[in-house]
Structures are given as structure tokens and as C-alpha cells.
Amino acid sequence: MKTAVLYGGGGHAKGVLECLWSAGVLVAGFFDDDPAVTELCGIRSLGTFDPALASGLPLLIAIGDNATRSRVARRLEHASTVVSHSSALLSTLAWVDEGTVVFHRAVVQSGVRVGRHVILNTAAVVEHDCVLADFVHVAPGAVLCGRVRVDEGTLIGAGATVLPGVAIGRWCTVGAGAVVTRPLPDFSVAVGMPARVIRKIGPVGIRQLP
């Protein structure tokens, strides 16, 4: 049986654990920078990251925040793997890169390309020929219609819909329930139906990026 380790012991990690377990993967432990986090669903904390403890095991970065997940991934450069919940529908003609987690009942259709450390959350739908860059998060119930492009680090909020062929820039946030009908430039925060840009991620947000 395969074994993996996690980085992160918060709420998002619980969902990642479920995905691993349903795929028959044992979790040997988890790392967390916060010493107050000692236990995750009966699994013990291994403390701060120690490459010796993770040696030979794939590491899943179970952190929901895209910027934080990307910082950790760039810092560690540890081998990872793709995890897909047993209820997810992952086309054999889709390409998914390592570190990406496909949650319960998510659908990834034919011709899709998904980068590294992407989250395809519960019941997210990624239709044919979409292209998703590294560190994207498609939140629960969001729908990307065919040929959508989502650039690095962007969050597609819960229940949002992106219409066919629309391109979304890097490090954007699409608000929950939005309907994106036109391309969004980098660093946009957009909400509503049709989605309108309400602000750009400010200098503080940008400084936090990798």
C-alpha cells in the first residue's frame, strides 16, 4: 500500500486526508509550522518540516490558501503525487501534474491540463480542454466551461461559473457565485453576474506573493 505525508494540519487538510484514504493511501503523519497543531483526525503531528522524516514519501501540501501553498512548495521542492478521491471523475485524456488534489465528486473532462499543487475542490467541474496553471484553486461547486484558461494562483470561488473560452489572469479572486463572461486581467478581484472587477489585489497582497 502507498504511503504519503502531509504539510498542513488545518481544515483543508481534513479533506485531503479523505481523498488519500479513499484512494487507499496511508498517511504517515503531517508537518505543521504551528506547534499548537498536534493532531489531525487521529494522525500525529511530526512538527515542522523535516526532510529526513519525509524521505522517499510523496508530500501533499494540504494548505488551502494559494499564496501560502506556493511559498511552501517553492521552499521545499519535495516530490509529490496526484491524489484523486474515489468518487471523482478524472478523464484518462486529462493531464494532471503532481501535488494536485481532486476532491469528492469533482469532474475533470477530456483534454484538460492541470498544473502543480492545484485544488479541484468538492464537486468542481472542469470541462473539456481547460488549462489551469500551478497553485490554482477551483472551490466547491464551481464550473469551468470548455476551453477556459486560469493562470497561476487564481481562486475560483465557490459556485462560480466561467463561460466557455474565457481567460482569467494570475493571482485573481473570482467571488463566490460569480459568472465570468469576459477575460479578467492579473490580480483582479471580481464578483457578480456578470462578474465585474471590484478591486485589484493591493501592494500588500502582491508583496505576500512568491
Ligand X SMILES: CC(C)(COP(=O)(O)OP(=O)(O)OC[C@H]1O[C@@H](n2cnc3c(N)ncnc32)[C@H](O)[C@@H]1OP(=O)(O)O)[C@@H](O)C(=O)NCCC(=O)NCCS
* Residue 176 within binding range of ligand X, rule CB under 6 A: yes
Minimum CB separation of residue 55 from ligand X in Å reads: 32
Q: Which residue among 51, 192, 194, 202 contacts ligand X (CB under 6 A)?
A: 192
**Catalytic residue list contains 128:** yes
Q: Which residue among 37, 191, 197, 201 contacts ligand X (CB under 6 A)?
A: 191
Q: Give 163-171 contacts, CB < 8 A, sequence gap 24+.
A: 164/127, 170/133, 171/66, 171/67, 171/201, 171/205, 171/206, 171/209
Catalytic residue chosen out of the listed positions 78, 104, 117, 128: 128
Grid cell of 119 as nine digits: 485544488
| Strand bridging mode 26-31 / 83-84 | unpaired
Which run of H or of E encompasses 68?
helix 66-76
**x/- binding map, residues 38-67, to ligand X, per CB under 6 A?**
------------------------------
Minimum CB distance to ligand X smaller for 161 or for 173: 173
Q: Which stretch, 17-25, 88-96, 173-181, 201-209, contacts ligand X (CB under 6 A)?
A: 173-181
Q: Which residue among 41, 89, 93, 198 contacts ligand X (CB under 6 A)?
A: 198
Type of residue numbered 116: R
Question: Taking phi first (over 0 means left), then psi (-120 to 50 degrees means alpha), and beta for anything else, what does residue 119 get?
Answer: beta
Site for ligand X in 88-127 (CB under 6 A): 121
What distance separates the 2 farthest-apart alpha carbons in the chain?
A: 50
Q: Which residue among 175, 180, 184, 188 contacts ligand X (CB under 6 A)?
A: 175
CA distance 138 to 73: 18
Catalytic residue list = 128
